[in-house]
Amino acid sequence: MRVGIEVGGTFTDLVAIDGDRVLIGKVPSTPAAPDRGALDSLAAASIDLARVRDLVHGSTVATNAILERKGARLAFLVTEGFRDLLLLQRHDRKRIYDLFYQKPRPVVARRDTFTVAERMDAEGRALVPLDAAAEVQRLAPAIEAGGYHAIAILFLNSYANPAHEEALAAALERRFPHLFITCSTEVTREFREYERASTVTLSAYVQPVIDSYLARFADALGDRGFTGRFSVMQSNGGRMPAAGMAKNAITSLFSGPAAGVIGAVHQAGRSGYRNLITFDMGGTSTDVCLVRDGQPDLSTETEVDGLPIRTPVLDIVTVGAGGGSIVWVDDGGMLRIGPRSAGADPGPACYGRGGTEPTVTDAHLIRGSMRADAFLGGRMRIQPAAAERAFQGLASRFAQSLPQIADSAVRVADAAIVRAIQIVSTERGRDPRDFVLVPFGGAGPLHAARVAEELGIVTVAVPPHAGVISAFGLLAADDTQYETLTRKIVVGDGTAEIVREQYAAMRGRMLGAFRELGIAAAPRCGLTLAMRFVGQAFEVPVTLAEGEIERLDSGDLERRFIAAHHRVFAFGEASQGTSEIVSFRLGAASPPPSVPILAVAYDGPAVTAETRIFDRGAWRPARLLARGHCRVGHVVAGPALIEDATSTTYVPPGWRARGDSCDNLFMTRAE
């Protein structure tokens, strides 16, 4: 048996594969102790852990530690003269008209930042030698007095030569064996000092939290008979054995959203669709990602709480428009959604756990697009009267009926989702009409058709069991690792050979890392070069597949760069200047065993009843169907609600839905 468990902000989802049989589970999350919710999901699905040989886990533990500032007490060691690196940051302003704007607050204070006498130049030559023993002796009293749990080390230009960082880390480990010590070159070997400083401090900040959480969870699994392989999902869309998190916890920041993208890509790909916009609407937020030719876009940098993190992540845009997002009125009297959320505790008002503020989930219950008797397949009772009480104040303020204000809230949520999709598509030169929209999460299929209308998208593919597709994605994900390295090379006659040599060296290290982690299957590798014209400030990615590197020549490399530059900037010719490689990024992925179709069982009558939905200002009669009966050749004309145990799909007027042989449900505009 293989099991995937994804801890979300509101629910914890489980998918288990036992031969050709698929089991699913969904239980409320426990924010104070996420591992308890994960164990609850195993109990709810009656999983015998002694039979599980592969368990993959995704959680928001690292993200929450940063957002709530509940990471480790941290000391930061930097090159002499660079103590204020984290405070100076960059000279841009996120909000240029805010007179009270303040830069993001780093996770380590100035008083906890210490300088070290050493210096490397940009070529990796030592200008000021490091006396590691003497520096540790000098710093020891302050480290002992500070009560630190972790130490982050960043030296100027260490990406070119990590010798000083490694020497100091070794000396510190001998003196302070109980502390977590993280070097910047273990996390990223790319240039730009502030981004590297932010990344290594955040990684060191969450490392003890992640280690403690994973150890506690692994012990609890072991106590219940688990002896299999335990892996953790990463932000880059791949998983890694838990042991691989020992020095790079920062890669687990966005494991839940990344798993959802992988699950959606895998399931939609079964039906032959490879150009997708995935749309994950869960309890606290909505995450969107663009996928081209079956590959999600990958970004070299992301940020949490305004702090940059330089590590490969799926290019996901998040907005605070989830099912539990609070509906409120701003100072200008406009109806708004999120980013504040009711979360799992107390949750939306209709959950009956003490929540009193109106949420998107409450709005769906009032307008009839979600039924109290069918929530989570009828396993969880919710209270329509509580939802109505929560919206009463807004209805009075806007002089609207309860169905009208609830419908307005849903439409505001639709607008926020449309805006997020525009960021990953039209703002980056891609027409959303060229893509299939793939909604998932508990609320995604409720909003999908109306969002598609606004964007001109003509096809929506709803995967089976859309509410747990992130947990399914954990099992479909490859074992993945990335290595980055800054090395500036002006493109010339011998550049292709240098690229091959660098690729061979990085690939050799990666194969060794996979063997150390016990990953038996040989990984497939790909190389991405960050390139630019000499004198430019920023780079564009040029991707080379494994088989293309051996055939590469300098002319081909320059042509690939010109084409990539055109895609981003719409200009750029070889005559405009000399091109250069700035950095290398090697990605290695080893695929998991195949996963079966996430089929929906035939349960209940095909048409259970008629219902009503208040949509676009009017009550509309709608058919009510069980998802398991939407098979090949079965066409459902809207308006209709199609329900399964984890989500509900709304088919609006003018749309039709049909199932296919892979259990995907396709919605298209009626002609």
What are the tens digits of pLDDT across the range 579-590? Answer: 999 999 999 999
Which of 558, 590, 622 is the last residue before a domain boundary?
590
**Chain-centroid distance, C-alpha 135:** 39
Res. 345: pLDDT tops 90? no
Residues 40 and 95 reside in one and the same domain: no
* End-to-end C-alpha distance for the chain, whole angstroms: 45
Is 654 part of a structural domain of the chain?
A: no
Q: Report the candidate in 317, 244, 301, 289 with the shortest Cα–Cα distance to residue 588.
A: 244
> What is the SS3 string spanning 128-162?
ECCCHHHHHHHHHHHHHHHCCCEEEEECCCCCCCC
- CATH code for position 498: 3.30.1490
623: Cβ–Cβ under 8 A, 6 or more apart, which residues?
Answer: 607, 610, 611, 636, 639, 640, 641
Res. 247: pLDDT tops 80? no
55: which 2 tokens? 């368990």
What mean pLDDT is predicted for residues 170-180? 96
Which of 170, 203, 236 is the last residue before a domain boundary?
203
Q: Which residue has the tokens 């150890």?
A: 215
Residues 173 and 235 reside in one and the same domain: no
Is 11 part of a structural domain of the chain?
A: yes
CA distance 628 to 604: 8
Integer angstrom CA distances of residue 198 from 86, 307, 419 = 7, 7, 29
Tell the burial category of 43 from Cβ atoms under 10 Å away from its Cβ (0-12, 13-18, 19+).
exposed
CA distance 184 to 186: 5
**Per-residue pLDDT reduced to its tens digit, 502-561:** 999 999 999 998 998 888 778 899 999 999 999 888 899 999 988 889 888 888 999 999
Are the beta carbons of 472 and 4 closer than 8 angstroms? Answer: yes
Residues 115 and 234 reside in one and the same domain: no
Q: At what angle do helices 469-476 and 255-270 cross, to 10 degrees?
A: 80
Q: Read off the DSSP letter of residue 493.
A: T
What mean pLDDT is predicted for residues 114-138? 96
Q: Before 104, cis peptide (omega within 30)?
A: no
pLDDT at 574 (0 to 100): 67
**Per-residue pLDDT reduced to its tens digit, 185-233:** 999 999 999 999 999 999 999 999 999 999 999 999 999 999 999 999 9
Are the beta carbons of 431 and 641 closer than 8 angstroms? Answer: no
Residues 146 and 237 reside in one and the same domain: no
Which of 590, 607, 636 is the last residue before a domain boundary?
590
pLDDT at 638 (0 to 100): 85
**Per-residue pLDDT reduced to its tens digit, 31-86:** 888 899 999 999 999 999 999 999 999 988 888 888 888 999 999 999 999 999 99
Residues 103 and 48 reside in one and the same domain: no
Res. 127: pLDDT tops 60? yes
57: which 2 tokens? 């886990």
Is 538 part of a structural domain of the chain?
A: yes
pLDDT, averaged across the chain: 91
Residue 585 domain boundaries:
478-590
Alpha helix positions (H), 45-102: 61-67, 85-88
- CATH code for position 237: 3.30.420.40
Confidence grade of residue 309 (pLDDT, cut at 50, 70, 90)? very high
CA distance 583 to 579: 13
CA distance 648 to 11: 16
Residues 58 and 13 reside in one and the same domain: yes
CA distance 3 to 25: 11
pLDDT at 461 (0 to 100): 96
Are the beta carbons of 404 and 411 closer than 8 angstroms? Answer: no
pLDDT at 334 (0 to 100): 95
Tally the domains of the chain: 4
Is 644 part of a structural domain of the chain?
A: no
Tell the burial category of 652 from Cβ atoms under 10 Å away from its Cβ (0-12, 13-18, 19+).
buried
Is 225 part of a structural domain of the chain?
A: yes
CA distance 532 to 514: 32
Residues 84 and 20 reside in one and the same domain: no
Residues 195 and 85 reside in one and the same domain: yes
Is 453 part of a structural domain of the chain?
A: no
Share of the chain above pLDDT 70, in %: 98
Residues 196 and 80 reside in one and the same domain: yes
433: Cβ–Cβ under 8 A, 6 or more apart, which residues?
Answer: 455, 456, 457, 458
pLDDT at 94 (0 to 100): 78
Q: Which residue has the higher pLDDT, 569 or 357?
A: 357
Tell the burial category of 299 from Cβ atoms under 10 Å away from its Cβ (0-12, 13-18, 19+).
middle
**Per-residue pLDDT reduced to its tens digit, 426-447:** 888 889 999 999 999 989 999 9
pLDDT at 602 (0 to 100): 53
Is 113 part of a structural domain of the chain?
A: yes
Residues 86 and 138 reside in one and the same domain: yes
Res. 480: pLDDT tops 90? yes
Residues 198 and 77 reside in one and the same domain: yes
Integer angstrom CA distances of residue 454 from 33, 51, 175 = 40, 47, 61
CA distance 558 to 580: 9
Amino acid identity of residue 509, one-letter, is R
Q: Which residue has the higher pLDDT, 487 or 607?
A: 487
pLDDT at 392 (0 to 100): 97
CA distance 333 to 335: 7
Share of the chain above pLDDT 90, in %: 67
Res. 604: pLDDT tops 70? no
Is 142 part of a structural domain of the chain?
A: yes
Residues 125 and 55 reside in one and the same domain: no
Q: Read off the DSSP letter of residue 398.
A: T
Buried b (16+ CB within 10 A) or exposed e, 152-185: bbbbbbbbbbbebbbbbbebbeeebeebbbbbbb
Q: Report the candidate in 531, 533, 555 with the shortest Cα–Cα distance to residue 542.
A: 531
